[in-house]
Amino acid sequence: MENVTQRTAIYSRMHASFLRELAENINLSFRSHADTDKEDLVKLLNKKISPQKADTVLKMYLTCFAAKEVAEAIKPKGMEEVIIAVEKFFKTSSDCLYEVTVGSRRCDLVLFVGDAIIAIEVKSAQDQMKTALSQLSYYATWANKVYLAYDSRHRRTADRLCITNEGIGLLEFNKGNIELVYDASFNEKDMEYLYSIMTYTFLRTVAKRFNVHINGTKQDIAKRLKQKTTAPEAKTIFKNFLKTRALR
């Protein structure tokens, strides 16, 4: 994207929340421009980001904010069928989030069931299982319960994974039905840690609502919010954050 006008037009079509997070990540004097309007943010980003990196930014944006049709198109064959079965198993659909990005990972399915935040990695028959453990281990840092929902053809690999990693739940998919093989253990999460993995923009918005000072680093704000909010409030805030990170 060599043309400045072309880059400006593309940045202008992006969500303001994405532009602010991008500004934070590249240290674009973010704190002093946190309330800057979108037009000014576009100008600042155009000055800071080289033409060579503009294409990378566009790819990042499309990955984070793909339309529902795109998300479904890139989903492996059989994935949607497994997800429907999982929703039916947990008897919920209104509180299901799809393709939720937290940090550097994207979780296939997040459910709010009772007091629990449940993260589920879905592996259809066409998927590889080699990344499952690293994905589940990361989800376990913020979710109360973590499950691997897999096609029955992955049974042996799933069994080995669960035996060597205590706490991971297994949901086996076979002919349209889900069977609970191992239940996941429930783990409560530290409030300060949950705040620390939220984006700086979201955290500042929450801090203002609770009359918490927004000066300093993200970790500083996280510590102040932990002192100011109750555990149930922190969980509700984190749920709202997850909703902002879902594709649909």
Q: Where are the domains of the chain?
A: 4-64, 74-182, 191-244
- 74-182 has CATH 3.20.20.140 classification: no
Q: What is the pLDDT of residue 175?
A: 80
For residue 159, what pLDDT band results from cuts at 50, 70 and 90?
A: confident
What's the CA gap between 129 and 230, in Å, rounded? 38
Q: What is the pLDDT of residue 161?
A: 78
| Residue closest to 109 by CA, chosen among 87, 142, 133 | 87
Q: What is the pLDDT of residue 67?
A: 42
Predicted confidence (pLDDT) at residue 30 exceeds the cutoff of 50 = no
Query: In the beta sheet, which residues pair with residue 174?
Result: 177
Q: What is the pLDDT of residue 206?
A: 93
Predicted confidence (pLDDT) at residue 31 exceeds the cutoff of 60 = no
For residue 92, what pLDDT band results from cuts at 50, 70 and 90?
A: low
Predicted confidence (pLDDT) at residue 32 exceeds the cutoff of 60 = no
Query: Coil, strand, or helix at residue 188?
Result: coil
180-184 long-range contacts (CB < 8 A, ≥24 apart) are 180/89, 184/118, 184/145, 184/146, 184/147
Predicted confidence (pLDDT) at residue 211 exceeds the cutoff of 90 = yes
Mean model confidence pLDDT for the chain: 80
The mean pLDDT of 211-240, rounded to a whole number, is 92
For residue 228, what pLDDT band results from cuts at 50, 70 and 90?
A: very high
Q: How many CB atoms lie within 10 A of CB 160?
A: 12
Q: Structure tokens of 207?
A: 């801090």
Q: What is the pLDDT of residue 216?
A: 86
45-84 pLDDT tens trace: 777 777 767 777 776 666 555 444 444 444 445 567 777 8
The mean pLDDT of 84-96, rounded to a whole number, is 77
Predicted confidence (pLDDT) at residue 111 exceeds the cutoff of 60 = yes
State how far the alpha carbon of 203 is from the alpha carbons of 84, 132, 220, 234, in Å. 33, 29, 11, 11
Give 81's contacts (C-beta < 8 A, 6+ positions apart): 124, 173, 176
Q: What is the pLDDT of residue 121?
A: 93
Q: Between residues 166 and 30, which one has the greater pLDDT?
A: 166
